[in-house]
Amino acid sequence: MSTKFLFIEPMNILSIIPQYHILLEAFLIMWLTWFISKRYYSRDRMLTEDQVEKKLAEWNPEPLINNPQMNHISLNPRRIMSRAEKNAIAAIRKYGVGSCGPRGFYGTVDVHLELEERLANYTDTEEAVVYSYGFSTISSAIAAYCKRRDLVFVDEQVNFAIQKGLDASKTNIIYFKHNDANDLQNLLVKQAKIDEQNPKKATKIKRFLIIEGIYMNTGNICPLPELVALCRQYKLRIFIDESISFGTLGKYGKGITEHFGVPKQEIDMIMGSLDWAMGSIGGFCVGTSFIIEHQRLSGLGYCFSASLPPLLTTAAITSLDIMKNNPQIFKSLRDNCIAINEGLQNIHCLECSSFPESPVKHVYLKNKKDRAAEEQLLSKISNRCIENNLAIITPVYLEAEKNLPRPSLRLCISTLLNKSDIDFAVNVLKKCAEEVLSV
């Protein structure tokens, strides 16, 4: 009796529960079995051992390196020469050469804190953070804020470090035309229309604008006041790469904001390099504590890399002192830049559209040709100049660039040049260019 009862009990349940329920469950079970078996069988078991062996034998990878190409090496002197060697020697005697650790793990030397404080003071910001490599500063800083769902508006001619920072962040990038505030406005209006469809989602999207103070690849200056106005209107945070403009633009060399008289509070973060104007190595970011502090745990190049060697930190501090105490060097640099610019306008076979006060100038051929021909002619001019004791180079770009810049000759102007140097440079360039192009 009891056995029978036990046996019948489940059958009764079957008749009680509704039919569709059984169907649904049967379907679910079937689907689950199919799913699991698919995972198991489709992988190892569909292939016999022979087939696996065969596949393994057939596997023929590409060689590690594909055919190497030839390239050329050129010469190029940069701006303010450092007079910081004495202090750097004292730093070696006190701290040794390397710092032997990342900032978190006993790699924070007191000179790092001093440099950060001085940079913040010099740029009139709340806080600064120092990295050990200029390139990594910019790519780490961008990737620390821009995340996958964010929206970043970027000038199409930004330098490679910014491009890599954006790649690392995997964020949504919208490029606008080089230095064209109107194009940016059009894009922002377009985006505003998209946002109207889903306003709730739109309020959660962080928006950024990333530009350079003076563009490394063109020598142009960004129209900062217009861009800042747009940022305020459309609620974009603005990051500026001042690798070139810091220490060169403005009355006290404080960069693009000083040049245009834009208040520092309008800018969310300024990134810069210690490599060029400061005559040391490394990079820094300045801004409000709210923004900068975040990098101390989220900036990959800050957390996971050994800190800047103390001797280079001391050199940067000394350069900063020189810049603070001798504002006349910025005036003489500006005069030099303008003098070179005037000289370049007199060379008729070349054109230079770079900003007159920019210490980086790109000189293009007046008659447009195809890329290879331009490159060849320019490198001929460069070689001829070097033979005549003038070091001018054609900048090297990788093919991985987003928009490969037009081939050019790049001039970097130093405050140390005097009038006869400038005349000499312009005359040699003119002579060499005419010789090469008249052939």
Partner 1 sequence: MATQAITRRKLNEHEQKISKNGLTFHEDILANGHAGLQTNGRVQFSEEKTRAEPVKSRSKESFERIPFITAVLTHLGFYILMFLGFINQLLFTPKVAQEYNREGYAPLYENFDTFYLRYVYRRVRDCWNRPICSVPGATVTLKDRITKDYGWTFQFTGTTSECINLGSYNYLGFAEANGKCADQSIETLKKFGCANCSSRLELGNMPIHEELEQLTARFLGVEDAIVFGMGFATNALNLPSLVSKGCLVLSDEKNHASLILGLRLSGATVRVFKHNNVKHLEKCLKTAIVFGQSGTGEPWKKIVIIVEGVYSMEGSIVHLPEILQLKKKYKAYLYLDEAHSTGALGEHGRGVCDYYKIDPREVDILMGTFTKSFGSAGGYIAGTKTLINHLRIHSHAHTYAAAMSPPIAQQIITSMKIISGEDGTDDGKRRTKQLARNTRYFRRRLNQIGVIIYGNEDSPVVPMLVYLFSKIGAVVRTLTTYNIAAVGVGFPATPLMEGRIRFCLSAAHTKQQLDYVLLHIERLADSLGLRYSRKIRDPMPIEYYSDGETE
289 touches partner 1 (CB under 8 A)? yes
Minimum CB distance to partner 1 smaller for 4 or for 43: 43
* 204 lies in the site for partner 1, by CB under 8 A: yes
Q: Is-contact 414 78, C-beta < 8 A?
A: yes
Nearest to 278 by CA among 241, 308, 320, 219: 320
- Report how far apart the first and last C-alpha atoms of the chain are (Å, whole number): 114
Q: Which one among 133, 153, 176, 284 touches partner 1, defined by CB under 8 A?
A: 133
State the alpha helices, DSSP H only, in 308-418: 310-325, 328-345, 371-387
Q: Which stretch binds partner 1 (CB under 8 A): 131-139, 181-189, 376-384, 424-432?
A: 131-139
Q: What is the 3-state secondary structure (H, E, C) of 62-102?
A: CCCCCCCCCCCCCCCCCCCCCCCHHHHHHHHHHHCCCCCCE
Restricted to residues 10-69, the positions that interact with partner 1 (CB under 8 A) are: 43, 47-50, 52-53, 55-56, 59-66, 68-69
Q: Does 195 bind partner 1 (CB under 8 A)?
A: no
| Distance, CA of 286 to chain centre | 15
Candidates 253, 301, 359, 407; binder of partner 1 (CB under 8 A) is: 301
Residue 13 CB, shortest distance to partner 1, in Å, is 39
3-state SS, residue 409:
strand
Cβ atoms of residues 385 and 248 within 8 Å? no
Site residues for partner 1, window 392-411 (CB under 8 A)? 393, 395-398, 400
CB of 104 to partner 1, least distance (A): 5
Beta strands 350-352 and 360-365, pairing class: antiparallel
Burial class (CB in 10 A: 0-12, 13-18, 19+), 420: exposed
If one asks whether residue 161 binds partner 1 (CB under 8 A), the answer comes out as: yes
Does position 117 interact with partner 1 (CB under 8 A)? The reply is no
Confirm or reject binding of residue 159 to partner 1 (CB under 8 A). yes
Token pair recorded at residue 431: 């002579």
Contact call for residue 170 and partner 1 (CB under 8 A): yes
CA distances in angstroms from 188 to 36, 152, 233, 402, listed in the order given? 48, 11, 10, 22
Among 180, 183, 195, 275, binds partner 1 (CB under 8 A): 275
330 binds partner 1, rule: CB under 8 A: no
290 binds partner 1, rule: CB under 8 A: yes
Of the residues 2, 71, 197, 438, which one makes contact with partner 1 according to CB under 8 A: 71
> Rule CB under 8 A: which of 84-103 touch partner 1?
84-85, 88-89, 92-101, 103
- Footprint on residues 331-370 left by partner 1 (CB under 8 A): none
**Contact call for residue 245 and partner 1 (CB under 8 A):** no
Q: Please report whether residue 439 would count as binding partner 1 according to CB under 8 A.
A: no
Structure tokens at 120: 């913040």
What is the closest distance, in whole angstroms, from the C-beta atom of residue 148 to partner 1 in the complex? 12
